[in-house]
Amino acid sequence: MANALEALRTAEAVLAFAAMAAGAALAQDAKTNPLQSIVRVYVEVPVDARSAQGLGRQRLGSGTVIDDSGLIITIGYVIMEAMSILVTDAAGKPVPAEVVGYDYETGLGLVRAARPLGIKPMAMGDSTKLAEGEAVIVADFRGAEGAIAARVASRREFAGYWEYLLDEALFTAPPHPNWGGAALIGLDGKLYGVGSLLVNDAKGEKQSDPGNMFVPINLLKPIFAELLADGRRSAPPKPWLGLFSAEHQSRVVITWVSPDSPAAKAGLQPGDFIVSLKGTKIGGVSDFYRKLWGSGNAGIPVPLGVLRDGETRDIVVESADRYKFMRWHKNY
Protein backbone atom coordinates (compact mmCIF):
# COMPACT_ATOMS: atom_id res chain seq x y z
CA MET A 1 0.00 0.00 0.00
CA ALA A 2 2.83 2.38 0.90
CA ASN A 3 4.54 1.65 -2.43
CA ALA A 4 1.31 2.35 -4.31
CA LEU A 5 0.87 5.69 -2.54
CA GLU A 6 4.46 6.63 -3.26
CA ALA A 7 4.01 5.74 -6.92
CA LEU A 8 0.90 7.92 -7.05
CA ARG A 9 2.73 10.84 -5.46
CA THR A 10 5.60 10.42 -7.93
CA ALA A 11 3.21 10.37 -10.89
CA GLU A 12 1.50 13.52 -9.63
CA ALA A 13 4.86 15.24 -9.22
CA VAL A 14 5.91 14.28 -12.74
CA LEU A 15 2.67 15.64 -14.21
CA ALA A 16 3.01 18.89 -12.29
CA PHE A 17 6.65 19.28 -13.27
CA ALA A 18 5.83 18.61 -16.93
CA ALA A 19 3.16 21.30 -16.92
CA MET A 20 5.40 23.83 -15.21
CA ALA A 21 8.32 23.02 -17.47
CA ALA A 22 6.16 23.42 -20.54
CA GLY A 23 4.84 26.73 -19.26
CA ALA A 24 8.33 28.00 -18.51
CA ALA A 25 9.61 26.98 -21.92
CA LEU A 26 6.70 28.59 -23.69
CA ALA A 27 7.06 31.77 -21.63
CA GLN A 28 10.63 32.17 -22.87
CA ASP A 29 9.43 32.35 -26.47
CA ALA A 30 7.02 35.24 -26.94
CA LYS A 31 6.06 33.99 -30.39
CA THR A 32 4.76 30.67 -29.11
CA ASN A 33 3.80 31.56 -25.55
CA PRO A 34 0.07 30.83 -25.19
CA LEU A 35 -0.10 32.86 -21.98
CA GLN A 36 0.16 36.08 -23.98
CA SER A 37 -3.18 35.22 -25.62
CA ILE A 38 -5.07 35.56 -22.33
CA VAL A 39 -6.38 39.07 -21.68
CA ARG A 40 -8.07 40.94 -18.88
CA VAL A 41 -11.82 41.45 -19.34
CA TYR A 42 -13.42 44.22 -17.27
CA VAL A 43 -17.18 44.68 -17.54
CA GLU A 44 -19.75 47.12 -16.19
CA VAL A 45 -23.49 46.48 -16.34
CA PRO A 46 -26.41 48.89 -15.85
CA VAL A 47 -27.92 49.36 -12.41
CA ASP A 48 -31.15 47.74 -13.62
CA ALA A 49 -29.46 44.64 -15.04
CA ARG A 50 -31.22 41.52 -13.81
CA SER A 51 -27.88 39.84 -13.14
CA ALA A 52 -26.46 42.78 -11.16
CA GLN A 53 -27.65 41.49 -7.79
CA GLY A 54 -26.06 38.08 -8.13
CA LEU A 55 -23.00 38.86 -10.25
CA GLY A 56 -22.34 42.51 -9.40
CA ARG A 57 -22.25 45.62 -11.56
CA GLN A 58 -18.48 45.49 -12.04
CA ARG A 59 -16.97 42.18 -13.16
CA LEU A 60 -13.43 41.10 -13.80
CA GLY A 61 -12.43 37.95 -15.62
CA SER A 62 -10.14 36.53 -18.25
CA GLY A 63 -10.60 35.89 -21.94
CA THR A 64 -8.56 34.18 -24.63
CA VAL A 65 -7.85 35.80 -28.01
CA ILE A 66 -8.79 33.34 -30.75
CA ASP A 67 -8.28 35.35 -33.95
CA ASP A 68 -6.22 38.24 -35.33
CA SER A 69 -9.13 40.71 -35.27
CA GLY A 70 -9.35 40.70 -31.47
CA LEU A 71 -12.11 38.09 -31.04
CA ILE A 72 -12.06 36.77 -27.47
CA ILE A 73 -13.76 33.82 -25.83
CA THR A 74 -14.70 34.04 -22.16
CA ILE A 75 -17.24 32.65 -19.75
CA GLY A 76 -20.63 34.15 -20.41
CA TYR A 77 -21.59 35.33 -16.93
CA VAL A 78 -18.71 37.83 -16.99
CA ILE A 79 -20.25 39.66 -19.96
CA MET A 80 -23.95 39.05 -19.27
CA GLU A 81 -25.96 42.28 -19.79
CA ALA A 82 -22.72 44.22 -20.36
CA MET A 83 -22.98 47.97 -20.80
CA SER A 84 -19.25 48.50 -21.34
CA ILE A 85 -16.28 46.16 -21.77
CA LEU A 86 -12.56 46.86 -21.63
CA VAL A 87 -9.93 44.31 -22.62
CA THR A 88 -6.14 44.61 -22.67
CA ASP A 89 -3.88 44.80 -25.72
CA ALA A 90 -0.33 43.50 -26.13
CA ALA A 91 1.03 46.49 -24.20
CA GLY A 92 -1.46 46.03 -21.36
CA LYS A 93 -3.49 49.08 -22.38
CA PRO A 94 -7.31 49.05 -22.15
CA VAL A 95 -9.26 48.70 -25.38
CA PRO A 96 -13.07 48.94 -25.66
CA ALA A 97 -14.87 45.79 -26.74
CA GLU A 98 -18.43 44.66 -27.35
CA VAL A 99 -20.41 41.47 -27.00
CA VAL A 100 -20.49 39.41 -30.18
CA GLY A 101 -22.40 36.39 -28.93
CA TYR A 102 -23.65 34.57 -25.87
CA ASP A 103 -24.85 31.00 -25.50
CA TYR A 104 -26.88 30.03 -22.45
CA GLU A 105 -26.65 26.32 -23.14
CA THR A 106 -22.85 26.14 -22.97
CA GLY A 107 -22.30 29.26 -20.88
CA LEU A 108 -19.74 30.59 -23.38
CA GLY A 109 -19.48 34.19 -24.58
CA LEU A 110 -17.64 36.00 -27.35
CA VAL A 111 -16.46 39.62 -27.36
CA ARG A 112 -14.49 41.57 -29.95
CA ALA A 113 -12.08 44.39 -29.28
CA ALA A 114 -12.64 47.67 -31.12
CA ARG A 115 -9.28 47.16 -32.85
CA PRO A 116 -6.73 44.37 -33.29
CA LEU A 117 -4.84 43.79 -30.05
CA GLY A 118 -1.48 42.82 -31.52
CA ILE A 119 -1.75 39.50 -29.71
CA LYS A 120 -1.13 36.12 -31.29
CA PRO A 121 -4.36 34.09 -31.03
CA MET A 122 -4.43 30.75 -29.25
CA ALA A 123 -5.40 27.75 -31.34
CA MET A 124 -8.23 25.54 -30.16
CA GLY A 125 -7.49 21.96 -29.22
CA ASP A 126 -9.75 18.93 -29.35
CA SER A 127 -11.18 18.71 -25.84
CA THR A 128 -12.52 15.20 -26.44
CA LYS A 129 -8.93 13.97 -26.41
CA LEU A 130 -8.02 15.47 -23.04
CA ALA A 131 -7.83 12.44 -20.77
CA GLU A 132 -8.33 12.16 -17.04
CA GLY A 133 -5.01 12.52 -15.24
CA GLU A 134 -3.45 14.51 -18.08
CA ALA A 135 -1.19 17.43 -17.19
CA VAL A 136 -2.52 20.87 -18.12
CA ILE A 137 -1.91 24.54 -17.42
CA VAL A 138 -4.64 26.76 -15.98
CA ALA A 139 -3.98 30.46 -16.53
CA ASP A 140 -5.60 33.86 -16.16
CA PHE A 141 -4.76 37.27 -17.64
CA ARG A 142 -1.72 37.80 -15.40
CA GLY A 143 0.58 35.77 -17.64
CA ALA A 144 3.18 33.53 -16.01
CA GLU A 145 2.21 34.88 -12.57
CA GLY A 146 -1.35 33.69 -13.10
CA ALA A 147 -0.50 30.21 -14.46
CA ILE A 148 -0.54 27.01 -12.41
CA ALA A 149 0.23 23.39 -13.16
CA ALA A 150 -2.82 21.15 -12.84
CA ARG A 151 -4.28 17.85 -13.93
CA VAL A 152 -7.59 16.76 -15.40
CA ALA A 153 -9.28 15.34 -12.33
CA SER A 154 -12.42 14.05 -14.07
CA ARG A 155 -14.75 14.35 -17.05
CA ARG A 156 -18.41 14.03 -16.19
CA GLU A 157 -21.88 15.51 -16.30
CA PHE A 158 -22.43 18.83 -14.57
CA ALA A 159 -25.83 20.17 -13.51
CA GLY A 160 -25.83 23.83 -12.47
CA TYR A 161 -28.47 25.19 -10.13
CA TRP A 162 -29.38 27.95 -12.61
CA GLU A 163 -31.10 25.68 -15.21
CA TYR A 164 -27.82 24.62 -16.80
CA LEU A 165 -26.54 21.21 -17.80
CA LEU A 166 -23.42 19.92 -19.55
CA ASP A 167 -23.34 16.28 -20.58
CA GLU A 168 -19.59 16.28 -19.99
CA ALA A 169 -17.60 19.03 -18.29
CA LEU A 170 -13.87 19.12 -17.55
CA PHE A 171 -12.72 19.29 -13.94
CA THR A 172 -9.16 20.18 -12.93
CA ALA A 173 -7.18 20.26 -9.69
CA PRO A 174 -5.66 21.99 -7.82
CA PRO A 175 -7.99 25.01 -7.97
CA HIS A 176 -7.10 28.28 -9.66
CA PRO A 177 -8.24 31.30 -7.62
CA ASN A 178 -9.26 33.38 -10.66
CA TRP A 179 -11.34 30.88 -12.56
CA GLY A 180 -13.79 33.14 -14.40
CA GLY A 181 -12.85 32.86 -18.08
CA ALA A 182 -9.47 31.29 -17.28
CA ALA A 183 -7.83 29.24 -20.03
CA LEU A 184 -7.36 25.49 -19.81
CA ILE A 185 -4.22 24.93 -21.86
CA GLY A 186 -2.76 21.63 -22.97
CA LEU A 187 0.97 20.99 -23.10
CA ASP A 188 0.70 21.58 -26.85
CA GLY A 189 -0.17 25.22 -26.12
CA LYS A 190 -3.77 24.90 -27.36
CA LEU A 191 -7.01 25.97 -25.67
CA TYR A 192 -9.09 23.10 -24.31
CA GLY A 193 -11.59 24.80 -22.02
CA VAL A 194 -12.92 28.01 -20.50
CA GLY A 195 -13.04 28.43 -16.72
CA SER A 196 -16.46 28.56 -15.11
CA LEU A 197 -16.52 27.59 -11.44
CA LEU A 198 -14.70 26.71 -8.26
CA VAL A 199 -15.80 23.25 -7.05
CA ASN A 200 -15.01 21.07 -4.06
CA ASP A 201 -15.49 17.73 -5.83
CA ALA A 202 -13.18 17.86 -8.85
CA LYS A 203 -12.62 14.09 -8.76
CA GLY A 204 -16.31 13.30 -8.51
CA GLU A 205 -19.29 13.39 -6.23
CA LYS A 206 -18.70 12.49 -2.58
CA GLN A 207 -14.96 13.07 -3.00
CA SER A 208 -13.37 16.10 -1.38
CA ASP A 209 -10.94 17.52 -3.92
CA PRO A 210 -11.08 21.28 -4.62
CA GLY A 211 -10.69 22.32 -8.23
CA ASN A 212 -12.29 24.11 -11.16
CA MET A 213 -14.95 23.27 -13.69
CA PHE A 214 -14.23 24.13 -17.33
CA VAL A 215 -16.55 24.30 -20.32
CA PRO A 216 -14.92 22.15 -23.04
CA ILE A 217 -13.86 24.18 -26.08
CA ASN A 218 -15.43 21.66 -28.45
CA LEU A 219 -18.86 22.90 -27.34
CA LEU A 220 -18.13 26.19 -29.10
CA LYS A 221 -17.26 24.70 -32.47
CA PRO A 222 -20.74 23.63 -33.70
CA ILE A 223 -22.28 27.01 -32.82
CA PHE A 224 -19.31 29.27 -33.56
CA ALA A 225 -20.57 30.55 -36.92
CA GLU A 226 -24.06 31.12 -35.51
CA LEU A 227 -22.75 33.20 -32.60
CA LEU A 228 -20.67 35.32 -34.98
CA ALA A 229 -23.57 35.86 -37.37
CA ASP A 230 -26.53 36.24 -35.01
CA GLY A 231 -25.17 36.52 -31.46
CA ARG A 232 -26.85 33.27 -30.40
CA ARG A 233 -27.46 29.73 -31.63
CA SER A 234 -30.08 29.32 -34.35
CA ALA A 235 -32.01 26.49 -32.66
CA PRO A 236 -35.27 27.48 -30.92
CA PRO A 237 -34.64 28.55 -27.30
CA LYS A 238 -35.37 26.07 -24.55
CA PRO A 239 -38.10 26.75 -21.99
CA TRP A 240 -36.76 28.69 -19.00
CA LEU A 241 -38.50 29.03 -15.63
CA GLY A 242 -36.23 31.34 -13.64
CA LEU A 243 -35.42 29.32 -10.56
CA PHE A 244 -32.40 27.94 -8.73
CA SER A 245 -32.60 24.33 -7.61
CA ALA A 246 -30.66 21.79 -5.61
CA GLU A 247 -30.89 18.04 -5.23
CA HIS A 248 -31.88 16.53 -1.89
CA GLN A 249 -32.28 12.75 -1.66
CA SER A 250 -32.88 12.57 -5.43
CA ARG A 251 -35.54 15.26 -5.18
CA VAL A 252 -35.44 18.76 -6.66
CA VAL A 253 -35.85 21.58 -4.16
CA ILE A 254 -36.18 25.22 -5.18
CA THR A 255 -33.58 27.40 -3.44
CA TRP A 256 -34.30 30.77 -5.09
CA VAL A 257 -36.76 32.31 -7.52
CA SER A 258 -35.74 35.15 -9.82
CA PRO A 259 -38.00 38.21 -9.42
CA ASP A 260 -40.43 38.75 -12.31
CA SER A 261 -39.51 35.37 -13.78
CA PRO A 262 -42.05 32.80 -15.00
CA ALA A 263 -41.50 30.82 -11.78
CA ALA A 264 -42.19 33.88 -9.64
CA LYS A 265 -45.34 34.77 -11.60
CA ALA A 266 -46.62 31.21 -11.17
CA GLY A 267 -46.15 31.41 -7.40
CA LEU A 268 -43.25 28.99 -6.95
CA GLN A 269 -41.32 29.56 -3.72
CA PRO A 270 -37.99 28.63 -2.16
CA GLY A 271 -38.46 25.39 -0.25
CA ASP A 272 -40.89 23.92 -2.77
CA PHE A 273 -40.06 20.43 -4.03
CA ILE A 274 -40.66 19.75 -7.73
CA VAL A 275 -41.85 16.14 -7.82
CA SER A 276 -43.27 15.81 -11.33
CA LEU A 277 -43.43 17.47 -14.76
CA LYS A 278 -46.43 16.81 -16.99
CA GLY A 279 -47.41 14.05 -14.59
CA THR A 280 -44.06 12.26 -14.89
CA LYS A 281 -41.97 11.79 -11.75
CA ILE A 282 -38.74 13.81 -11.48
CA GLY A 283 -35.62 11.88 -10.46
CA GLY A 284 -33.17 14.67 -9.67
CA VAL A 285 -31.92 17.97 -11.08
CA SER A 286 -30.46 16.56 -14.31
CA ASP A 287 -33.63 14.60 -14.96
CA PHE A 288 -35.70 17.70 -14.28
CA TYR A 289 -33.76 19.75 -16.84
CA ARG A 290 -33.92 17.07 -19.51
CA LYS A 291 -37.66 16.60 -19.05
CA LEU A 292 -38.21 20.38 -19.04
CA TRP A 293 -36.21 21.00 -22.21
CA GLY A 294 -37.62 17.92 -23.90
CA SER A 295 -41.18 19.15 -23.42
CA GLY A 296 -40.99 21.84 -26.12
CA ASN A 297 -39.61 25.29 -26.89
CA ALA A 298 -39.61 28.49 -24.84
CA GLY A 299 -43.11 29.81 -24.25
CA ILE A 300 -44.85 26.51 -23.59
CA PRO A 301 -46.85 26.00 -20.39
CA VAL A 302 -45.04 23.66 -18.00
CA PRO A 303 -47.31 21.73 -15.58
CA LEU A 304 -45.42 20.92 -12.39
CA GLY A 305 -46.30 18.83 -9.39
CA VAL A 306 -45.06 20.77 -6.37
CA LEU A 307 -44.77 19.54 -2.78
CA ARG A 308 -45.24 22.35 -0.25
CA ASP A 309 -45.91 21.98 3.48
CA GLY A 310 -46.56 18.29 3.03
CA GLU A 311 -49.18 18.78 0.34
CA THR A 312 -48.84 18.29 -3.41
CA ARG A 313 -50.31 20.92 -5.66
CA ASP A 314 -50.40 21.43 -9.43
CA ILE A 315 -48.77 24.65 -10.70
CA VAL A 316 -48.49 25.62 -14.36
CA VAL A 317 -45.52 27.84 -15.28
CA GLU A 318 -45.61 29.80 -18.53
CA SER A 319 -42.01 29.33 -19.64
CA ALA A 320 -39.98 32.06 -21.34
CA ASP A 321 -36.97 32.74 -23.53
CA ARG A 322 -34.11 33.60 -21.17
CA TYR A 323 -32.50 35.88 -23.77
CA LYS A 324 -35.56 38.14 -23.73
CA PHE A 325 -35.69 38.21 -19.94
CA MET A 326 -32.16 39.57 -19.55
CA ARG A 327 -31.63 43.26 -20.28
CA TRP A 328 -28.92 43.17 -22.89
CA HIS A 329 -27.37 46.46 -24.00
CA LYS A 330 -27.54 44.98 -27.49
CA ASN A 331 -30.36 42.65 -28.52
CA TYR A 332 -29.26 39.03 -28.78
Nearest Cα to Cα of residue 105 among 268, 267, 298: 298
SS3 content of the chain, % helix, strand, coil (to 5): 25, 40, 40
Dihedral, 206, 208, 212, 217 alpha carbons, nearest 10 = -40
- The correct answer on CATH 2.30.42.10 for the domain covering 243-325 is yes
Domain ranges in the chain are 122-218, 243-325
Rounded to an integer, the average pLDDT of 15-31 is 48
For residue 1, what pLDDT is reported?
39
185-212 pLDDT, tens digit per residue, is 999 999 999 999 999 999 987 778 999 9
30-79 pLDDT, tens digit per residue, is 445 889 999 999 999 999 999 999 999 999 999 999 999 999 999 999 99
pTM metric for this prediction: 0.90
Nearest Cα to Cα of residue 112 among 50, 68, 172, 75: 68
For residue 16, what pLDDT is reported?
47
CATH of domain 122-218: 2.40.10.10
Residue 264 has phi, psi (to 5 degrees) of: -65, -40
CA–CA dist 322, 50 (Å, integer): 11
